Amino acid sequence: MNIDLSKFDRFKVSFQKGDQIFCEYEPGDSFYLIQSGRVQIVKIMGDIEKIVDILHPGEIFGEMAILEEAPRSASAIAIDHVEVLEFNKKNFEILLRGNPQIAMKLLQTFIKRIYDQKRRFMILTLPDPQAKVADVFLMLSETQSAESKSMNEIVLNTNVDDLAHWCGLTTSECKQVINHFVTQRKIEIENDKLVIKNINDFQRFVNSRRKK
């Protein structure tokens, strides 16, 4: 994002590595644009702390708070030394007028989050664990470049914990499904990589499960 942000210096806030930027359920009235460092978004689900997202410079977080006074839906923690621009309801209008690029970026952030949540919902409504895991493969492959999409075989950078998180299964349930796919030779596991032999196979499988 090549935007001159120097005029927003007065909104700059920095956090040390490991600092909590905000906490789930805390009332929130500001959102942040990352200038440097990475921010981890975590959520406590049942008894597990889940990493929902890792955000990089140029990305926005906490955006839900800007239009509605609702509690934070997740916590934000600085992974590195982090510098952010902090905006709130009051200076938000100034921002929209003064920097339309950020405004556009914010709009796109919302659009992406809506898409992700919808996709998530689609996965969760599938009837059985196999279909759910398969649909996560599809979702992860959708975000890959068009070039790799044209091929049947694709490589996903993911692990069982992440997959389980996406489809709302426990890690052991998810492991079972993965092992099943491995014995069927549909996938291979290499460290933190997952090789999908034929993504179109999975597409057909998910489609057939969804129609019911």
Partner 1 sequence: MPQVVKYKAKSIIYFEGDISDKIYILQSGKVSLISVDIENGQELREMVKTGEFFGVKSSLGRYPREETADVLADSVVMVFTIPEFENLIYTNPRINMQMLKVFSNQLRRLHKKVRSLMSIDEQTDAETGLFNIGEYYYKNQKFKPALYAFRRYLTYYPAGIWQGQATDYLIKIEKYPQGGAPAGSLNQKAQTGKKPSAPEEESKDSKLYYDGLGFFSQEKYEDAINNFRQYISANPDGEFMVRAVNEIGKSFFLLKRYDDCIKHFTGMIQKFPKHPDLPEFLLYLGLSCDAKGDKQRAAGFYKKVITMCEDGSEVKRKAKNALKTLGGN
User: How far apart, in whole angstroms, are the C-alpha atoms of residue 204 and residue 212?
Assistant: 13
142: its two tokens: 């959708």
Q: Which of 88, 171, 176, 203 binds partner 1 (CB under 8 A)?
A: 88
Residues 42-81, one symbol each (x = binds partner 1 by CB under 8 A, - = not), give --xxxx-x-------------xx-xxx-xx-x-x-x----
Query: Which of residues 54, 107, 151, 195 is near partner 1 by CB under 8 A?
Result: 107
Decide: is 5 part of the binding site for partner 1 (CB under 8 A).
no
Interaction mask 24-43, partner 1, x per CB under 8 A: xxxx----------------
Nearest to 78 by CA among 15, 133, 142, 141: 15
Which residue in 110, 159, 180, 209 binds partner 1 (CB under 8 A)?
A: 110
Helices (H) and strands (E) in the chain, counts: 7, 11
Measured from the CB atom, is 6 or 121 closer to partner 1?
Answer: 121
**Residues in 162-191 at the binding interface with partner 1, rule: CB under 8 A:** 168
Name residue 187's amino acid.
Answer: I
CA atoms within 13 A on the CB side of 169: 26
User: What 8-state DSSP symbol labels residue 10?
Assistant: G
- Best CA proximity match to 60, nearest among 39, 83, 78, 34: 34
Nearer residue to partner 1 within complex by CB, 93 or 153? 93
Q: How far apart are CA 192 and CA 11, in angstroms?
A: 39
Residues in touch with partner 1 (CB under 8 A): 10, 18, 20, 23-27, 44-47, 49, 63-64, 66-68, 70-71, 73, 75, 77, 88, 90-91, 93-94, 96-97, 100, 103-104, 106-108, 110-115, 117-118, 120-122, 124-125, 168
